[in-house]
């Protein structure tokens, strides 16, 4: 299975993905087009003809005066839409913070947010997560592979989801290795997967595989 993103735990979250900009390219292009139309409108706004009491383009003065105002209104609405609408690409989730506090998690698709008040957090992939747990059991490390099934249930933890899984895996692995009836590494891996899914399924995560191995120098 390709495309796994690896995180090494003592417990360290996966590197940040930066802000989400790609989904807003369409809105930016629309804004640029609207500004061009506004400049064209202001350039060719009909001027008054004092001799005839009407505009050069034969428009009534009140309509000629309203043209720039309508153009400004259209520009303002376009700017508002460009800032308020966010697109999350397929296979990703995005957390939204309002006034510095977690508000909600956006799944793939188009979403409406509140300009100025809402800010985007990290863009997190839904599949291909790989967390490496070092020293979870004497003489062995663990590789945990998981995916995010329901990002809305993951909540605020989605920004540091790899770190969360790493901590849970470390705790469960230590508890399993302390069990007097602990078996071989393969069996411990199966038991670790079951324990993690029992704990993480409630926040929308699914552990695909847990593999224990002897650390290499």
pLDDT of residue 138: 62
C-alpha distances (whole Å) from 65 to each of 29, 56, 155, 212 are 28, 13, 51, 75
Could you tell me if 164 and 198 lie in one domain?
yes
pLDDT of residue 27: 55
Alpha helices in the chain (DSSP H): 25-43, 61-84, 151-154, 161-178, 185-200
Could you tell me if 49 and 38 lie in one domain?
yes
Could you tell me if 131 and 208 lie in one domain?
yes
The string of pLDDT tens digits covering residues 135-178 is 766 667 889 999 999 998 998 899 899 999 999 999 888 888 77
Could you tell me if 61 and 115 lie in one domain?
no
Could you tell me if 100 and 135 lie in one domain?
no
Could you tell me if 147 and 205 lie in one domain?
yes
Where the chain has pLDDT below 70, the residues are: 1-68, 136-139, 179-183, 216-217
Number of domains in the chain: 3
pLDDT of residue 126: 93
Could you tell me if 33 and 60 lie in one domain?
yes
Q: Among 93, 74, 193, which residue's Cα sits nearest to residue 149?
A: 93
pLDDT of residue 33: 62
**Domain containing 40: what range?**
26-83
């Amino acid at each position: 299975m390709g495309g796994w993103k690896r995180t090494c735990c003592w417990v360290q979250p996966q590197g940040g993905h930066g802000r989400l900009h790609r989904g807003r390219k369409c809105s930016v292009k629309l804004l640029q087009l609207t500004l061009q139309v506004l400049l064209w409108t202001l350039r060719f706004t009909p001027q008054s003809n004092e001799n005839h009491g009407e505009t050069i383009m034969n428009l009534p003065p009140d309509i000629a005066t309203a043209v720039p105002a309508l153009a400004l209104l259209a520009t303002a609405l376009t700017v508002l839409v460009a800032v308020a609408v966010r697109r999350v690409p397929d296979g990703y989730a995005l957390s939204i913070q309002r006034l510095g506090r977690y508000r909600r998690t956006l799944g793939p698709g188009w979403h409406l947010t509140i300009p100025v008040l809402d800010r985007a957090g990290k863009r997190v992939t839904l599949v291909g997560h790989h967390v490496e747990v070092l020293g979870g059991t004497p003489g062995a490390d663990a590789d945990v592979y998981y995916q995010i099934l329901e990002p809305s249930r993951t909540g605020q933890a989605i920004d540091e989801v790899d770190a969360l899984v790493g901590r849970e895996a470390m705790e469960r692995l230590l508890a399993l290795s302390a069990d007097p009836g602990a078996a071989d590494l393969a069996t411990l891996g199966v038991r670790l997967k079951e324990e993690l899914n029992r704990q993480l399924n409630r926040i929308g995560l699914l552990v695909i595989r847990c593999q224990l191995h002897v650390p290499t120098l």
